[in-house]
A and B are shown apart, each in its own frame.
Chain A
Amino acid sequence: MQHEGNRTGAIEITKELTIQKLFFLQATRYGSDRVAMREKQFGIWQPITWQDYLDNVKYLALGLVSMGLKRGDKVAMIGDNRPEGLWAEMAALCAGGVAVWLFQDCLIDEVKYILDHSDTKFLFGEGQEEVDKALSICHECPKLAKIIWDDPKGMRNYHQDNLISYKQVMELGRQVEANQPGVFEDLVNQGNGDDVALLFYTSGTTSLPKGALLSHHNMLTMGRHLMDVDPCYDTDDYVSYLPFAWIGEQMMSISCGLQIGYTINFPEEPETAQENIREIGPHVMFAPPRMYEQMTRSVQVKHLDASWLKRFCFNLASKIGYKVADLKFSKKPTPLHWRLLNALAYGLVQKKLKDHLGLSRVRNAYTGGAAMGPDHFRFFHSLGVNLKQIYGQTEVAGISVVHRSGDIKFDTVGHPIPGTEVKITEEGEIITRSPSVFKGYYKNPEATKKTIRDGWLHSDDRGFIDDDGHLVVFDRTKDVFTLRDGKPFSPQYLETRLKFSPYIKDSWVIGDRRPFVTAVLCIDYSVVGKWADEKKLNYTSYQELSQKPEVYQLVEKQIRQANKDLPDTAKIARFTNLYKEFDADDDELTRTRKLRRAFVEKRYKEIVDALYGKEDSVHIDTSIKYEDGREARINTDMKIIKLIEVTV
């Protein structure tokens, strides 16, 4: 492939280099000729040049310093993806601070815990919602000095002393600059690569979030090593729409983005992200599996709705696509006639489909953060999307293992990136050593000692290295099942397979040291709802729809499909449909939508008991809380469907 852009591998990553030094270097180099970021605002993509970026960061940083920010102080950020968020983070780093990101949808308790635990001094909130959250807890976080907001909407009646607007902070910064020109440059030049840049809270499937300390060097080496595998160019476009509180987004926007100098695009609103991605057509993409699952589902649903002719074309094209993708996976040469057919299928169907998904220019698409089912994987490759699995964690500042182009196996995560060693311990745990391994957990030396041993990062994930040298991640050590025949089994594998059905949004597989495997399913309300509309089934709520006999039949069909290729002991013998969806607000999922197994097992104990009992249904009488704070009582019977006869 030919590219006009430069690959700026020129900047050497030394122990002296910090993110802010690199930022200053790049911003002065590109100046006002190049667009650093774009944001869609008022229906138009508004460019922000590197010079604008630098100016904004400069005045913010100086403003923070004039309000009393000292080196090493923590600055927290919460809000949607928008340029102001990135400026705030960069300003905090330039001023010598440490950046802490919170998930936009964090509940008040989580916000309080993180602000308090991290000793945050300044908080950047986006608008009224974030300010309200912060104000309601600021008396419990005595170290929090100022709350900074940037969206004036609804803020007309807020005059608290600890509030200050973005503009005012920048005004303070301008005054500092006028009085002491050059002070910003001095600030930026302080510090070295070993300083802490980010304090990043991990989602924690079992316990309270832990704060991982990542140094500048961690972040920069991580980005460099990934770019060594899959180069990006400064003419590339990237869309930033996943939470900055997720390490993957930091990796793409900061670690890689800053080094390469590609343009970061911000969607207008979270709701318009998909549409905005299509408008931009990014060259590189990194998202957790659920985003790809969502894309697959939208295609599947549109396929169900399409006319027979369109369906016919699609089916034909995907058959060809799958065939070619499978040949590629098995590294066999593609015969000429298949190549011709594929070109035809691509031109007629897949090209347009890719365009609709915003994937038409994607060189490399990455998925990571959780397991992705092989069916999704094949689907994207059949479209000609170079989707790769990665493996990593917050503690290595992003990723450590990735697929190489042309060497993709969908049950593996590929080879370690340069500078990274990956080993399997005798117990089968995956351990990593690289310059990106974090410095430790904040205020938690015990956990640090347990995680970093002799320079090796212990992941708590079980896995092995296959014959081709690919790393295979089995599951979290504590999640791995022992089946009735004594064999280990990964519930995640089964769950992701189930989720390939467009009707199933979430699944929870149970079966560790049990006589057989069972599952609790959450239907996809919109897809099943649409299906029910067509079947003329009446329903008023998720709860009612999920318990319809017809819906049970539908789900049963999906499970039988997934059961087909499984060994007998791993087949799902019984299942039930849950009366609600899993929700991070109810602690059932982490903010990155990983199932918190131990928690749901406790919460839904009666359902688990019923799945292994003799009854055909389980009575539920409980209350659920809606997002707007209302509570509703749930009084229903959940059916237990038995697929395979087993003796209890």
Chain B
Amino acid sequence: MGGKSQINEGDVLLELNDIQMLFGKVQALSGVSLKVRKGEIHSVIGPNGAGKTVMMNVVNGLYRPQKGEIHFKGQQINALKPYERAGMGMARTFQKVEVFGGMSVLDNIRLGRHIHMKSGILSGAVYLGKTAAEEIEHRRFIEEQIIDLLEIEQIRHKPVGMLPYGLQKRVELGRALALEPELLILDEPLAGLNLEEVEDMARFVLDINKEENWKVTCLLVEHDMGVVMDLSDRVFVLNFGNMIMDGTPEQVQNNPEVIKAYLGEEDLYATRR
């Protein structure tokens, strides 16, 4: 599968510089630095409790690090709130799905479109001219790009809470895509999925990253090593808040320190195939 493309060295989309994150006296991240280049799939792996999700929360603005700088599209974003970062083109999914269970699939996805809505309450109420045109444009995007990509035509109008877990994850991904992000943070998109759903999801991630009309840079946290090594351009290894290494999948697989960090956890990290 792989299909590793040429990534331009200079084009850094996201940069973490010497990030330190403390919860009381617990050091969750100690001096982590990461560069995500435009167009790549950059995976973050590490044992449970390594600080992967904390790192994602720092990127996305849920946590404010005590030390270090975060740059997104060349701009320092330490002080920006999550919604401001979303406005800049950063979207994410969560390890445990965070969808609105009582709302339909379409409504959940539409919600992700919110930041692109320009018209106000009043013009929305009368639904004329620009507002109508805008809404048709949004509808077109959701239907032609997202629903078609994720193959969820048959569940469009179903309430998300009634759907199986694997489909809920798809809907959550759809909502993140509705933002038309430049950077997509995927926090364990494969957790809890069966083999078929894993294959589907891996394919979606690849499509989102490679298809001409998407070309979204992905920051992927995942435990399924088979998928990580197949999909990623680069892999970042984290252990107890420290970076062990950042390199190509081949380099990571041959690194003795990485192997040591995973030692004894073979079962947990064994690939599914």
Which residues of A approach B to under 8 Å, CB–CB?
A: 42-44, 153-154, 156-157, 268-269, 271-272, 275, 628, 630
Q: Give min CB distance, B156 to chain A, whole Å.
A: 7
Which one of A154, A156, A272 contacts B203 once the chains associate, using CB atoms below 8 Å? A154
CB closest residue in chain B, given A268: B153
Q: Is the CB of A271 within 8 A of B153?
A: yes
Q: 18 extra interchain contacts, Cβ-Cβ under 8 A, other than A153-B149, A272-B154?
A: A42-B140, A42-B144, A42-B147, A43-B143, A43-B147, A43-B153, A43-B156, A44-B143, A153-B207, A156-B211, A156-B212, A157-B3, A269-B151, A271-B153, A272-B153, A628-B196, A628-B199, A630-B195
CB closest residue in chain A, given B194: A628
**Cβ-based interface call for B67 (8 A):** no
Which residues of B approach A to under 8 Å, CB–CB?
A: 3, 140, 143-144, 147-149, 151, 153-154, 156, 195-196, 199, 203, 207, 210-212
Across the interface, which residues of B come within 8 angstroms of A269, CB to CB? 151, 153-154
Q: Is the CB of B154 within 8 A of A628?
A: no
CB closest residue in chain A, given B199: A628
Bound Cα distance A44, B147 (Å): 13
Across the interface, which residues of B come within 8 angstroms of A43, CB to CB? 143, 147, 153, 156
Q: Give min CB distance, B123 to chain A, whole Å.
A: 24
Q: Is the CB of B207 within 8 A of A42?
A: no
B interface SS class:
helix
Bound Cα distance A154, B203 (Å): 9
Q: Is the CB of A156 within 8 A of B210?
A: yes
List 8 tightest A-B contacts by C-beta distance, closest first: A42-B143, A271-B154, A272-B154, A269-B153, A43-B143, A268-B153, A42-B144, A272-B153
Across the interface, which residues of B come within 8 angstroms of A272, CB to CB? 153-154
A42-B195 contact, Cβ under 8 Å, with A154-B207, A271-B153: no
Q: Give min CB distance, A643 to chain B, whole Å.
A: 38
Bound Cα distance A275, B156 (Å): 12
Across the interface, which residues of B come within 8 angstroms of A153, CB to CB? 149, 207
Bound Cα distance A157, B212 (Å): 12
Q: Is the CB of B3 within 8 A of A42?
A: no
Bound Cα distance A44, B196 (Å): 29
Q: Is the CB of B3 within 8 A of A275?
A: no
Bound Cα distance A157, B209 (Å): 14
Across the interface, which residues of B come within 8 angstroms of A156, CB to CB? 210-212
Q: Give min CB distance, B192 to chain A, whole Å.
A: 16
Q: Give min CB distance, A22 to chain B, whole Å.
A: 34
CB closest residue in chain A, given B157: A275
Bound Cα distance A154, B3 (Å): 12
Sample 15 A-B pairs with CB under 8 A, ordered by A number.
A42-B143, A42-B148, A43-B143, A43-B156, A44-B143, A153-B149, A156-B210, A156-B211, A269-B151, A269-B153, A269-B154, A271-B154, A272-B154, A628-B195, A628-B196
Across the interface, which residues of B come within 8 angstroms of A42, CB to CB? 140, 143-144, 147-148
Across the interface, which residues of A come within 8 angstroms of B153, CB to CB? 43, 268-269, 271-272
CB closest residue in chain B, given A267: B153
Across the interface, which residues of A come within 8 angstroms of B140, CB to CB? 42
CB closest residue in chain A, given B1: A157
CB closest residue in chain B, given A152: B211
Across the interface, which residues of A come within 8 angstroms of B196, CB to CB? 628
CB closest residue in chain A, given B273: A630
CB closest residue in chain A, given B196: A628
Q: Give min CB distance, B226 to chain A, whole Å.
A: 14
CB closest residue in chain A, given B144: A42
Q: Give min CB distance, B249 to chain A, whole Å.
A: 19
Instruction: Specify which of A42, A153, A271 lies most central, judged by the most chain B CB atoms within 10 Å of its CB.
Output: A42
Bound Cα distance A156, B3 (Å): 11
Bound Cα distance A44, B148 (Å): 13
Across the interface, which residues of A come within 8 angstroms of B156, CB to CB? 43
A275-B143 contact, Cβ under 8 Å, with A157-B3, A630-B195: no
Across the interface, which residues of A come within 8 angstroms of B144, CB to CB? 42
Bound Cα distance A268, B157 (Å): 14
Bound Cα distance A43, B110 (Å): 15
